[in-house]
Amino acid sequence: MTQWVYNFGGGTAEGNTTMKNLLGGKGANLAEMASLGLPVPPGFTMTTEVCTTYYDNGEVYPDGLDDDVAKGIAHIETLTGKAFGDPKNPLLVSVRSGARASMPGMMDTVLNLGLNDDTAEGLAKLSGDRRFALDSYRRFITMYSDVVMGVHHHTFEDILDEYKDNQGLMLDTDITPDGWAEIIGLYKDAVRDALGRDFPQDPREQLQGAIDAVFGSWMNDRAVVYRRLNDIPAAWGTAVNVQAMVFGNMGDTSATGVAFTRDPSTGENTYYGEFLINAQGEDVVAGIRTPQTLTKVARENMGDNEPSMEEAMPEVYGQLAATFAKLESHYRDMQDIEFTVEQGKLWMLQTRTGKRTARAALKIAVDMAEAGQITKSEALMRIEPLSLDQLLHPTLDADAPRDLIAMGLPASPGAAIGEVVFDSDKAELRAKAGHKVILVRTETSPEDIHGMHAAEAIVTARGGMTSHAAVVARGMGRPCVSGAGSIRIDEAAGQMSITGRIVKEGDIVTVDGATGQVFAGEVDMVQPELSGDFSKVMAWADELRTMSIRTNAETPLDVQTARDFGAEGIGLCRTEHMFFEADRLGYFREMILAQDKAGREAALAKILPVQRADFAAIFRIMADETKSLPCTIRLLDPPLHEFLPHSEDDIRKVAETIGVPASEMMARSRELAESNPMLGHRGCRLGISYPEIYEMQARAIFEAQIEVENETGVMPIAEVMIPLVSSAKELEILKKAIEGVAEDIASKGVAPEYIIGTMIELPRAALRAGDIAHHAEFFSFGTNDLTQTTFGLSRDDAGRFLPDYVAQGIVEKDPFVTLDQDGVGDLIQIAVERGKATRPDIKLGICGEHGGDPASIVFCHNAGLNYVSCSPYRVPIARLSAAQAAIMASEG
């Protein structure tokens, strides 16, 4: 018999932290905490299998579930000594979702369940606080009606506001217990009016409704979007946790809070969190009341007036601190914790591994490794490679002039510049149209996820460091300023005012999430200084990885940047980019327009010295006193028509400049036009048709090598790469021509040092790798084109339907971002196997954009590649990913 329900509480539990797939993160950790002897309100977890069975069976629960739930309730009753529905000593429970991966705010929660007209009065007697009891009851009616019954919470808020207006009251706390009783009556009438039935009084009926709602919320729109953005499969399902309520709102000895055991923004080893006295947990997370700090130091740092928890509740704070230590040492990682204090007693409601910024992740990993808490490998595995991107990008120039317009909390670090928008839909639209936008909201809610995703940065007028905006922005790596209280948004007018100053939608602002500042206009940026933690992590990664990391670069700036980031060579130097520069595009066009080989050679002769200088510049950067890093140079790849102007106007202008008749240029342009340029006359096909082009390029490479060797005494290492090969014979012919150039140069004195290889970027090249390897000393997988041809998918055109494909689960991820291991990867493995069979020591690399994608890098490691090559800013990501791949492989 499947066990559908797992109990916890009273110092033991049926589950534990390893059972996250079955119990969800929250349930597994509640069980673990209970077993550790921490004060956890007793409860039970309905497993994720209940959820998946429910959906697989057309929304029918599995047999036996009802009995298990009844036993779970009995278990809670036993441990608490309370009884569900008993007016004398009523048991109240919370019903919360809890998926395998955290999906904050995406699914439904019901608190205070078990209250009805009788138990509310019973709770009043028992607690001696009728106001608290009725406040809890009206909260329950609001939440339950909204979440379970579909009566919008505005209905109840309107009743409350109207009541206060009628009574001339300002604050909720001004309402008397009898007033609350009256309001509760109005609430119940409203439910009956809306639905034609009464608010349920039977706690078991309430429970079933709440369970239905929480499982149902797994499929709500918000959750579906969140899962898509975060790559969470729908098939995982959610667990549901039913747990005895504890109350942070039972007066001034009660409180509720959230905390991180370290600073999730910087990684500092100090407690970080917020709490509210006399409140329920939702009040903290929702960001409606501004919470107080946990520690005295934090209060002082923030210049806060309200006492910290350390000061207000020193004894409970001491218990909390001890619990933090116990949890961090048990879980060996920074924890994100929810707790409640009920009349002076601490209860733990949740612990989980805390989300953190990239900077914090680095610092925490390094600190814990250096303290011996975790190994270096574990430290490396803790850092999400893509998150490093946040550290590599520019920050505001300290010396740049700036015009500060608003100040809030530094909720998520990073700087960004963009147009102000006030609406998430609009943010998404503008971003799709290519604009950089800054989303400014009073506060954010789960409905804003898509807008936050589209924005460069997020600014909110309300909410703290753990508000929705802050948590989500940190998770997404977006800069965020939260609680910038001076901002007043007037959406209708399309503007905001900040202490009288008007900023209109579309105005440019600069956001600094590290300081919580917002500036008018653009503020100059500077390159990041990478912290010592970064260098340590990179050094550890370099120790552990076995693949080399190269870069795709051709401008001296990019080459230098990549080398600074630790690139160990160039994996792809795209020579055609050099032809697009103004000083040589004219010559190149001359070559295209030439009538014969002699004409082409004359034009190429003009390009030779320029291209030689380009290569020499690259070789200089890649050389030092003792050695030179290898540089893979790809010969001309794109079709010739890409170099000609296209509009009639441009053609006329360019023709005049070059001095040829416009009609001739138009004719040549028409002649060269292709139906499918991606599959056209390009790559080595040009080399076959016009050998003089590749010969000129080879000469430029070899002569540049000798020039740099003369200067430095070190011979640069050139790896000449032939693109778009589909058969061994192409390579054989072109290799012979290039070797001819090298021999010619060698005959005049010094021989250049080079090898010749090819890109594997067509399915046929992968299949014929065995033949091709006879002529290739290296293979570089060009996974951009290999993906296009393997899928029969043009990257330029796929944008129209690929999002649908991802949404419908036809492709798991965009195959141009993450390598399609099943198809393209299969071809790579075939090519590796066949290539090595011919030439066991063949050098293997990847130079498609997948070379900078962590999942793809793991694939490359496992496929036996020698290196990956990626864009300069991806080099650190690749170094870490390669180390993670090696660690995972060594751990099997």
Sole window of 2-10, 475-483, 523-531, 764-772 interacting with a second copy (rule: CB under 8 A): 764-772
* 8 Å CB contact between 471 and 287: no
Q: How far is the CB of 845 from a second copy (least distance, A)?
A: 20
Chosen residue from 53, 116, 424, 726 binding a second copy by CB under 8 A: 726
- The answer to whether 700 and 616 have CB atoms below 8 angstroms apart is no
Q: Is-contact 588 607, C-beta < 8 A?
A: yes
Closest Cα to residue 458, out of 476, 434, 431, 440? Answer: 440
Question: Could you give the string, one character per residue 672-711, with x where binding to a second copy holds by CB under 8 A and - elsewhere?
Answer: --xxxxxxxx---x--xx----------------------
* Strands of the sheet with 495-498, listed across from one edge: 487-490, 495-498, 501-504
Q: What is the smallest separation between the CB atom of 378 and a second copy, expressed in angstroms?
A: 36
In angstroms, give the least distance from the CB of 788 to a second copy.
6
Tell the smallest beta-carbon distance from residue 415 to a second copy (Å): 35
Closest contact distance (angstroms) between CB of 453 and a second copy is 24
Q: Which is nearer to a second copy, 472 or 793 (CB)?
A: 793
Amino acid at 655: A
Which CB sits closer to a second copy, 213 or 793?
A: 793
- Give, as one character, the DSSP assignment of residue 852: G
Site string for a second copy, 244-283 (x = CB under 8 A): ----------------------------------------
CA-based R_g, the chain, Å: 33
Amino acid symbol at 163: Y
Candidate residues 763, 855, 862, 866; the one interacting with a second copy per rule CB under 8 A:
763
- Bridge-based pairing of strands 272-277 and 292-293 is antiparallel
Beta strands in 366-433 (DSSP E): 395-396, 404-407, 409-412, 415-421
Name the strand (E) or helix (H) holding 319: helix 314-331
Among 109-117, 386-394, 454-462, 668-676, the segment contacting a second copy (CB under 8 A): 668-676
Q: How far is the CB of 571 from a second copy (least distance, A)?
A: 21
Nearest distance from residue 730's CB to a second copy, in Å? 5
C-alpha–C-alpha distance, residues 891 and 421, integer Å: 48
- Note whether 873 binds a second copy by CB under 8 A: no
Backbone angles phi, psi at 96, to 5 degrees: -130, 150
Query: Which pair of structure tokens corresponds to residue 125?
Result: 């007697």
CB-CB contact of 457 with 477 (8 Å): no
Specify the stretch interacting with a second copy by CB under 8 A; choose among 429-437, 579-587, 803-811, 873-881. Answer: 803-811
With CB under 8 A as the rule, give the number of residues binding a second copy.
47
CB atoms within 10 A of CB 883: 28
Residue 812 per-residue DSSP state: S
Listed in sequence order, the residues at least 6 apart from 601 whose beta carbon sits closer than 8 Å to its beta carbon are 692
| Amino acid present at 327 | L
Question: Which is closer to a second copy, CB of 503 or CB of 686?
Answer: 686
Q: Which of 9, 10, 38, 30 is nearest to 19 (CA)?
A: 30
Among 761, 880, 881, 884, binds a second copy (CB under 8 A): 761
Contacts of 126 (CB under 8 A, 6+ apart): 88, 89, 90
- Is 847 a catalytic site residue? yes
If we measure between CA atoms, which residue out of 698, 547, 533, 700 comes closest to residue 614? 700
* Pick 436 or 834: Cβ nearer a second copy: 834
Nearest to a second copy of 643, 805 (CB atom) = 805
Binder among 274, 448, 568, 820 for a second copy (CB under 8 A): 820
Q: Which of 170, 670, 800, 841 binds a second copy (CB under 8 A)?
A: 800
From candidates 219, 407, 660, 811, binder to a second copy by CB under 8 A: 811
Q: Does position 888 bind a second copy by CB under 8 A?
A: no
User: Looking at 219-227, 510-518, 542-550, 819-827, which segment touches a second copy (CB under 8 A)?
Assistant: 819-827
Which residue's CB is nearer to a second copy, number 35 or number 829? Answer: 829
Residue from 11, 200, 528, 823 touching a second copy (CB under 8 A): that is 823
What is the CB neighbour count within 10 angstroms for residue 796?
9
Active-site entry in 684, 847, 860, 870 = 847
Which range in 331-339, 409-417, 548-556, 781-789 contacts a second copy by CB under 8 A?
A: 781-789
Q: Is 468 a catalytic residue?
A: yes
Distance CA 38, CA 54 (A): 33
Measured N-to-C along each axis, helices 783-791 and 824-838 cross at an angle, to the nearest 10 degrees, of: 120
**Mapping DSSP to helix (H, G, I), strand (E, B) and coil, where does residue 404 land?**
strand
Name the segment binding a second copy (CB under 8 A); options: 80-88, 208-216, 307-315, 823-831: 823-831
To the nearest whole angstrom, how small is the minimum distance from the Cβ of residue 770 to a second copy? 10
Of 341 and 765, which CB lies nearer to a second copy in the complex structure?
Answer: 765
Interface pick for a second copy out of 399, 596, 625, 796 (rule CB under 8 A):
796
| Cα 10 to the center of its chain, rounded Å | 38
Q: Residue 739 in contact with residue 698, Cβ under 8 Å?
A: no
Which of 677, 847, 695, 687 has its CA nearest to residue 760?
A: 847
Go through the chain and tell me how many residues it has.
Answer: 892
Per CB under 8 A, which region of 95-103, 106-114, 501-509, 818-826 contacts a second copy?
818-826
> Considering the rule CB under 8 A, would residue 228 count as an interface residue with a second copy?
no
* Residues 580-619 interacting with a second copy (rule: CB under 8 A): none
How many Cα atoms are found within 13 Å in the side-chain-facing hemisphere of 41?
A: 27
- The position carrying tokens 């604009």 is 435
Residue in 75, 468, 641, 775 annotated catalytic: 468
CB of 815 to a second copy, least distance (A): 9
Q: Which residues pair with 240 in a beta bridge?
A: 46, 97
Q: Which range of residues in 135-143, 279-287, 344-352, 785-793 is near a second copy by CB under 8 A?
A: 785-793
Pairing status of strand 93-99 against strand 238-244: antiparallel
Distance of closest approach, residue 780 Cβ to a second copy, in angstroms: 16
Judged by CB under 8 A, which of 259, 276, 313, 762 binds a second copy?
Answer: 762
Alpha helices in 343-397 (DSSP H): 358-370, 376-381, 389-392
**Distance separating alpha carbons of residues 12 and 30, to the nearest angstrom:** 10
Strands 570-574 and 548-552: parallel
Beta-bridge partners for 441? 460
Name the nearest CA neighbour of 472 among 361, 463, 294, 365.
Answer: 463
Single out the residue of 128, 233, 713, 809 in contact with a second copy (rule: CB under 8 A).
Answer: 809
Site for a second copy contains 805 (CB under 8 A): yes
Rounded distance between C-alpha atoms, residue 542 and residue 628, angstroms: 19
Query: Is 477 or 823 the residue whose CB approaches a second copy more closely?
Result: 823
Cβ-based nearer residue to a second copy, 207 or 793: 793
- In this complex, which beta carbon is closest to a second copy, that of residue 283 or of residue 642? 642
Closest separation in Å from C-beta 670 to a second copy = 13
DSSP code per residue over 510-546? EEETTTTEEEES---EEPPPPPHHHHHHHHHHHHH--
Query: Considering the rule CB under 8 A, would residue 670 count as an interface residue with a second copy?
Result: no
**Smallest separation, CB 689 to a second copy (Å):** 5
- Interacting residue with a second copy among 193, 650, 711, 826 (CB under 8 A): 826
Q: Please identify which residue in 326, 330, 652, 764 interacts with a second copy, judged by CB under 8 A.
A: 764
With a CB cutoff of 8 Å and minimum separation 6, the contacts of 338 are 256, 257, 258, 281, 348, 349, 350, 351
Q: Which is nearer to a second copy, 380 or 786 (CB)?
A: 786
Stretch that binds a second copy, among 101-109, 606-614, 649-657, 806-814 (CB under 8 A): 806-814
Q: What are the residues binding a second copy (CB under 8 A)?
A: 674-681, 685, 688-689, 724, 726-727, 729-730, 733, 761-764, 767-768, 785, 788-794, 796-797, 800-801, 804-805, 808-811, 820, 822-824, 826-827
Active site residues: 468, 847
